[in-house]
Amino acid sequence: MKPPGGLGGQTLSHRAERGDVVLAFMFPGQGSQHPGMGRPWAGHASWSVVHEASEVLGRDLAHLLLDADAEELVATANAQLATYVTSLVVLDALRCAGVAPAACAGHSLGEYSALTAAGALSFTDGLRLVQARGEAMAAAAGARPGTMAAVIGLDDDAVAEACRQAGGDVWVANLNAPGQVVVSGAEESVVALHKTAKALGARRILALPVAGAFHTSYMAPAGEALAAALARVTLRPPRVPVVANVDAAVHREGREWADVLLAQLCHPVRWRQSVARLVADGATTLVEVGAGKVLSGMARRIVPDSGSVSVSTPEEVERLADVATPTSPRPPTSPEGEHLHMAERLVVSPAAGVFSPAERWRENLAGSRVEVGEVLGTVGTEEIRSRFAGVVMGIIAHDGEQLVASQPIAWLRTA
């Protein structure tokens, strides 16, 4: 793994110094799921993401988001898919509203959402990875059961001491916010920690709705299956910086992220440090994208002087779009045929959906000629045909990428 970098902080900090709104998206992890989490989006245009995801995985994800009860949702494989897909629905609505991040981070599972938002993972690859991760972690938890709990009112060192005094298998798993640390381990050891943490001054200890001792050595058996799944996908360099859980640093190369995602299984989530990094390098507004309001609440405790909001409903998307300025990076919205230079054109997607390039263009044959009416690929069930003849300078969209209507697909030189 190469040495981690910063956020490209000079650029973000310079924009913040100009008074720009610099958005960083934060994506929630397992534990944020709840019955009916998809109901605000049923009937919304971005609900198409759920149908497309269901087709990719061959299962009814709408059921998880609309009808599943708490018992069904707490199952690890279900919780992870439900949380990830909900975040993608909200992300799609934000993209359609012209709101995009300057940087991203995700809490545990949310790191996969962050990488998808940053273009490092395609829509289909992200879904398959999350499914494989959830199944592997569920199997590891079944073989070696465990649980997690949030300790409120103690600092990091005191929680580590409470773990030591409890004995057995219990460790610090998430460094969430000042005075909020999550522990993970064997159920009897976590129960014992309730007493030791209280004796050291903890205000509360809250059981978490998860079905395993995540971010500990108990998850090591999941590593083999996750590594195999990672080997089957393409991890591209993120288009915007993504701060990693394991070290609160930015990793710029796609394949570095395979190592980071594997390490994340058995190592603590350094969330407090990750949020502080986003702000230190120039983010002015932290936006929680997906189910719940936990991350935005923690952000207000980590960096009280920075803005933080949660976006989990269509109305909240509209409110954020109203205040986001044009200085926040926006997805391309150029109409088809708009000139890039005197003799250059864009071919754009006719609709929202998942992009699949035509066989000829899967290798991005820059320099090849395209004729009027030639099919460059499909989005959903619709063909994307070029209205122009010319030389392809580049295929802009990636195979499996979730597109919005009018998003550029290809860049042509017509003369």
Provide mean pLDDT across the span 77-92. 96
Predicted confidence at residue 288, as pLDDT, reads: 98
Looking at 87, 189, 194, 215, which residue is catalytic? 215
Q: Residue 285 pairs with which residues in a beta bridge?
A: 23, 307
278, 250 contact by CB (below 8 A): no
Q: Which of 323, 353, 384 is the last residue of a domain?
A: 323
Output 260 or 328, whichever has higher pLDDT.
260
Domain assignment present for residue 328? The answer is no
188, 230 contact by CB (below 8 A): no
Please say if the pLDDT value at position 114 is more than 60: yes
In a shared domain, residues 292 and 352: no
In a shared domain, residues 235 and 356: no
In a shared domain, residues 63 and 159: no
Domain assignment present for residue 127? The answer is yes
Domain assignment present for residue 2? The answer is no
**Nearest one of 371, 403, 164, 59 to 68, comparing CA atoms:** 59
Domain assignment present for residue 330? The answer is no
DSSP state of 334: P
Predicted confidence at residue 180, as pLDDT, reads: 96
Residues 211-225 have pLDDT tens digits of: 899 999 999 999 999
Predicted confidence at residue 337, as pLDDT, reads: 44
Domain assignment present for residue 374? The answer is yes
In a shared domain, residues 222 and 107: yes
Provide mean pLDDT across the span 355-372. 80
Domain assignment present for residue 386? The answer is yes
**Nearest one of 116, 369, 382 to 236, comparing CA atoms:** 116
Please say if the pLDDT value at position 18 is more than 70: no
Please say if the pLDDT value at position 1 is more than 50: no
Containing structural domain, residue 194 = 146-207
Please say if the pLDDT value at position 327 is more than 60: no
- Calculate the average pLDDT of the chain: 88
> Residue 108 catalytic?
yes
In a shared domain, residues 58 and 32: yes
Domain assignment present for residue 63? The answer is yes
Looking at 32, 87, 108, 113, which residue is catalytic? 108
In a shared domain, residues 162 and 295: no
In a shared domain, residues 229 and 125: yes
Predicted confidence at residue 4, as pLDDT, reads: 42
**Nearest one of 235, 277, 226, 276 to 256, comparing CA atoms:** 235
CB atoms inside a 10 Å sphere around CB 171:
20
Classified as helix, coil or strand, 48 is helix
Predicted confidence at residue 96, as pLDDT, reads: 86
- Rounded Cα distance between 378 and 356, Å, is 5
In a shared domain, residues 45 and 193: no
Q: Could you tell me the CATH number of the domain that includes residue 271?
A: 3.40.366.10
Q: Could you tell me the CATH number of the domain that includes residue 358?
A: 2.40.50.100
> Residue 267 catalytic?
no
Q: Which residues contact 237 (CB under 8 A, 6 or more apart)?
A: 120, 252, 253, 254
Q: Find the range with the poorest average confidence among 41-50, 271-280, 334-343.
A: 334-343
Output 329 or 256, whichever has higher pLDDT.
256
Predicted confidence at residue 6, as pLDDT, reads: 46
HSE of 380, CA atoms in CB hemisphere, 13 A: 15
Please say if the pLDDT value at position 44 is more than 90: yes
Q: Which of 157, 182, 207 is the last residue of a domain?
A: 207
In a shared domain, residues 192 and 301: no
Global pTM value: 0.78
Q: Which of 255, 289, 323 is the last residue of a domain?
A: 323
In a shared domain, residues 202 and 237: no
Please say if the pLDDT value at position 10 is more than 50: no
Domain assignment present for residue 175? The answer is yes
Q: Could you tell me the CATH number of the domain that includes residue 173?
A: 3.30.70.250
Number of structural domains found in the chain: 3
In a shared domain, residues 43 and 155: no
Provide mean pLDDT across the span 323-334. 50
In a shared domain, residues 127 and 154: no
Predicted confidence at residue 355, as pLDDT, reads: 87
Helices (H), ranges, 269-399? 271-280, 294-302, 314-323
